[in-house]
Amino acid sequence: MTIAVMDAINHASPTHSDLVCDLKLLRAKGLLRIRALELPALGRAAQLASFARHPSDPTAVELLLRRAVDALGDEEPGLAAQYLFGLVQGTVGRRPTDLRQRAAAEYGLAPETFRKEPERLLVGRIADEILRLLPLDPKVSRPDAMSSQEPRRPLGLGRDGHLLRASALRLLSVRSAPTS
């Protein structure tokens, strides 16, 4: 490979599918084991979003994940994602099956039902939020990413600031999910 090709690869943004693969692995193994996992897409995204100087920083990957999950809001999708990845205080060491059960409870579903479709959609939405945190031009980092407290309308609030009903949120999560 030429230096130009290697440079282009090193500056490329991770793809949605690569992020989903890393997120699935992290969910399956648990946040407690993040230091032992190879998460190249999440690491690259953390680096591009200026959370890390190098892509193997697990603290930066966790910060990126927390920022993406926070963007989902405090309603069903956000709470389910927090439980699914062990981001709620006191859940980081729980078994992944216990975390899935708690996330499924946020949707009022059985864990097996949640695992088949809603979990897949939720992980895809988290990948979408991670991609939103990245600069449009991957060669340009965002120096304000660590300190930025830009007000952002959380999912669950309509344009007028009123809460959307849970049924409307489910519809939004299904319609905004990427097709594969």
Distance CA 166, CA 170 (A): 6
Whose CA is closest to 44, among 9, 68, 71, 70? 9
Please check the confidence at residue 7 and state whether its pLDDT lies above 50.
no
Please check the confidence at residue 69 and state whether its pLDDT lies above 50.
yes
* Polymer length in residues for the chain: 180
Query: 114 burial class (0-12, 13-18, 19+ CB within 10 angstroms)?
Result: buried
Please check the confidence at residue 112 and state whether its pLDDT lies above 90.
yes
- The residues spanned by each domain of the chain are 3-132+154-176
> Is the pLDDT higher at 45 or at 136?
45
Q: What is the reported pLDDT for 93? A: 86
pLDDT digits (tens, 9 = 90+) for 117-160: 999 999 999 999 999 999 876 554 444 444 444 434 444 444 44
What pTM value is reported for the model?
Answer: 0.71
- Mean predicted confidence (pLDDT) in 69-90: 95
pLDDT digits (tens, 9 = 90+) for 24-35: 999 999 999 999
Please check the confidence at residue 2 and state whether its pLDDT lies above 50.
no
- Mean predicted confidence (pLDDT) in 165-178: 48
